[in-house]
Amino acid sequence: MPSQRNGTKAVASKKKSTPPISSQIGSDSLTSPEAQVLVGQLLTLLEEKAPEGIPLLNQLISILQPNPQEIVESEKRSRSIIISGMPEAEKELTASQRQAHTELSVTKMLDALEIETKPVEINRMGTLTGGKVRIIKCVFSSQKYFLEAIRKARLLRQIPGFDTVYIRRSMTKAEREKDRELRRQARELNEKEFGGEKVYVVYRDRVVKACDIPNLKVSNSKNL
């Protein structure tokens, strides 16, 4: 009997030595009350059956919790556009003169589209090299202006001086690679089925026929 009491004390001591999960991770890492309940249940099970698994639980939660930098970058992308095809100032000009030229060009484009706002950031992306026009990243103060710019982008085809300028949303590297692959597929289909005529296009992360887009818009609006 004494040996059993000693064994019980040893087990109890082992359980007490396991640090509570609340002391290892902050409550902010649990994104909802439901998540806190599930983690609590899992913690209880680990304490009783496998206390050595608690550090692994801590590591898992640490991996799953949001990255503040990614949150900030995602929010910024949600109000940013990428402009391609905008003529660039001569390389011989000073850096400040080239920047002023870029800002003025974007301002004129926004005027042409009747978008009444002043972007918070306008920058050419990449290194200046001869013979290659760099894209422009334009960050708005609100997603409202981003949506307006995306909605009116097609009008540039009809505006003299901007008919070779294109607007798209800002994307992550993975999104750009996916978009590039979809556009490659669209080009191949156009070449194979229509002799290069632009029939297939990329719409909402899908390759579709341009003539089907109005019906897709109606279908999407009904599903909202």
Q: What is the dihedral of CA 66, 71, 73, 74, to 10 degrees?
A: 110
pLDDT of residue 31 exceeding 80:
no
Give residue-wise pLDDT tens across range 159-182: 999 999 999 999 999 999 999 999
- DSSP per-residue letters across 122-145: EEE-S---TT-PPPEEEE-SSHHH
The band of 20, judged by pLDDT with boundaries at 50, 70 and 90, is very low
Do 117 and 153 belong together in one domain?
yes
| Structure tokens given for 56 | 């692994």
Do 47 and 127 belong together in one domain?
no
State which residues form the domain around 24.
2-65
pLDDT of residue 22: 43
Do 184 and 212 belong together in one domain?
yes
Question: Could you tell me if residue 56 is inside a domain?
Answer: yes
The band of 99, judged by pLDDT with boundaries at 50, 70 and 90, is very high
User: What's the rounded mean pLDDT across residues 15-41?
Assistant: 58
Q: What is the dihedral of CA 139, 141, 143, 148, to 10 degrees?
A: -80
Question: Could you tell me if residue 121 is inside a domain?
Answer: yes
Cα distance between residue 126 and residue 55, in whole Å: 43
Phi, psi of 118 (to 5 degrees): -120, 115
The band of 106, judged by pLDDT with boundaries at 50, 70 and 90, is very high
How many domains are there within the chain? 3
pLDDT of residue 218 exceeding 50:
yes
Residue of 143, 155, 158, 168 whose CA lies nearest to 85: 168
CATH of the domain at 105: 3.30.70.330
Question: Could you tell me if residue 39 is inside a domain?
Answer: yes
Residue of 102, 74, 98 whose CA lies nearest to 165: 102
pLDDT of residue 147: 97
pLDDT of residue 209 exceeding 50:
yes
Query: Pick from 150, 170, 190: which residue ends a domain?
Result: 170
What per-residue string of b and e applies to 127-143 under the rule 16 or more CB within 10 Å gives b?
eeeeeeebebbbbbeee
- What's the longest Cα–Cα distance across the chain? 96
Looking at the DSSP bridge assignments, the partners of residue 121 are 139
Do 44 and 93 belong together in one domain?
no
Residue of 143, 2, 186, 153 whose CA lies nearest to 85: 153
Question: Could you tell me if residue 43 is inside a domain?
Answer: yes
Do 161 and 178 belong together in one domain?
no
Do 6 and 34 belong together in one domain?
yes
Give residue-wise pLDDT tens across range 53-81: 888 878 877 777 777 888 889 999 999 99
